[in-house]
Amino acid sequence: MSHLWSTLWLTALWAALWRSTTLATLLTGLLLGYALSWAVRRADDHREHHRVRPLGLLRYLGHMVVALVRSNLVLAWEILTPTDYTQPGILEVRLPRSSELVLTTVANSMTLTPGTLSLEVDPETSTLTIHVLHLRDVDEARAEVEELHRLVSAALVHIDRTAPPERSAP
């Protein structure tokens, strides 16, 4: 049933974008809407599913706001002062086993933060390789990445659809 609603919604969107309700526009919209709905539904069968925990998401977002402000201040200081305080380095962090979505979110969060750049994510080993502009303490930098991973994992909980549903005890 949701396939029907998404097809109709996409057809209406197609007609609105073309500003036309001719038979050709509606048929083209139906055809494209159906094809897109089918393709998305088919791709969704292979995707891992997650549940978002609102409190965990708020903690993660709060952490990101603090990290963004702090790193922007550090980089602003670096730009405004004549002395070069950078200590660039490559850091490889092996994280606890997690889904690709969690790893991707951690990698993108690291890249979003000024002064860090994700270079590689290996989902097989849950290893993240990043470039850090101010790498003063390797253990502290690893701990920061691991804390970010913990926050993302708490916000995005993996749902195992292959496991049989749990039965409650009688």
Q: Note whether 97 and 127 are within 8 A (CB).
A: no
**What pLDDT is stored for residue 137 in this prediction?**
93
Residue 24 has pLDDT above 80, yes or no: yes
Instruction: Give the percent of the chain with pLDDT over 90.
Output: 66
Tens-digit pLDDT profile for residues 116-129: 999 999 999 999 99
For residue 115, the tally of other CB atoms under 10 A from its CB is: 19
The pLDDT score that the predictor gives to residue 70 is 93
As a whole number of angstroms, the distance between CA 10 and CA 18 comes to 12
Q: Strands 49-52 and 156-159, how do they pair?
A: antiparallel
pLDDT higher at 155 or 45: 155
| The predicted structure's pLDDT at residue 50 | 81
Residue 91: pLDDT band with limits 50, 70, 90:
very high
Neighbours of 92 (CB within 10 A): 14
Mean pLDDT of 145-152: 96
Task: Tell me the pLDDT tens digit for each residue of 41-53.
Answer: 765 555 567 888 9
C-alpha distance from residue 90 to each of 18, 115, 127 (Å): 50, 12, 13
Q: Taking residues 125-150, what's their average pLDDT?
A: 94
Residues 50 and 137: their CA atoms lie apart, in Å, by 34
Domain ranges of the chain: 2-44, 49-159
Higher-pLDDT residue of 157 and 60 is: 60
DSSP secondary structure of 55-120: HHHHHHHHHHHHHHHHHHHHHHHHHHSSS---B-EEEEEEPPS--HHHHHHHHHHHHHSTTEEEEE
Query: Can you give the pLDDT at residue 143?
Result: 95
Give 3 or 139, the one with higher predicted confidence. 139
Residue 25 has pLDDT above 80, yes or no: yes
